[in-house]
């Protein structure tokens, strides 16, 4: 059995806004966090995808965009210093 690979992106403390918790299921949030930490930025545009790829190397903020099973768009944002990751709705920003 292959041992688990460490996260590509450290998440730090993970939090979510009240609106995100009300609109997005815990399963959708968990799946998004797994994708985000592995470098799958979801539905970002090509420019943001390239910026995230650069930010992994340079230590800048990371933003991923996902959709819940019910069609709600939500974001996962990891701070530049990798101490915190926030799950939020676009209107929360």
Question: Per-residue pLDDT tens for 81-90?
Answer: 999 999 999 9
Owning domain of residue 45: 13-92
Tell me, yes or no, whether 67 lies in a domain.
yes
Q: Given pLDDT bands bounded at 50, 70 and 90, which one contains residue 5?
A: low
Assigned domain for 1 exists: no
Does residue 8 lie within any of the structural domains? Answer: no
Please tell me the predicted confidence (pLDDT) of residue 57. 87
Total structural domains within the chain: 1
Question: Is there a domain that residue 49 lies in?
Answer: yes
Instruction: Specify burial of residue 83 (Cβ count, 10 A radius: 0-12, 13-18, 19+).
Output: exposed
Q: Tell whether the model's pLDDT for residue 72 goes beyond 60.
A: yes
Residue partners of 17: CB distance under 8 A and separation at least 6: 86, 87, 88, 89, 92
Question: Is 6 within a domain?
Answer: no
Length of the chain: 93
17: in domain: yes
88 assigned to some structural domain: yes
Q: How confident is the model at residue 7 (pLDDT cuts 50, 70, 90)?
A: low
Residue 4 lies in a domain: no
What average pLDDT does the segment 52-61 reach? 92
pLDDT digits (tens, 9 = 90+) for 18-38: 999 999 999 999 999 999 999
């Amino acid at each position: 059995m292959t041992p688990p690979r460490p996260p590509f992106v450290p998440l730090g403390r993970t939090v979510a806004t009240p609106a995100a918790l009300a609109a997005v299921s815990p399963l959708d949030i968990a799946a998004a966090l797994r994708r985000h930490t592995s470098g799958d930025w979801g539905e970002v545009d090509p420019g943001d995808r390239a910026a995230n790829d650069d930010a992994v190397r340079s230590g800048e903020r990371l933003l991923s965009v996902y959709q819940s099973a019910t069609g709600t768009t939500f974001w996962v944002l990891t701070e530049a210093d990798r101490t915190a990751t926030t799950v939020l709705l676009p209107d929360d920003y």
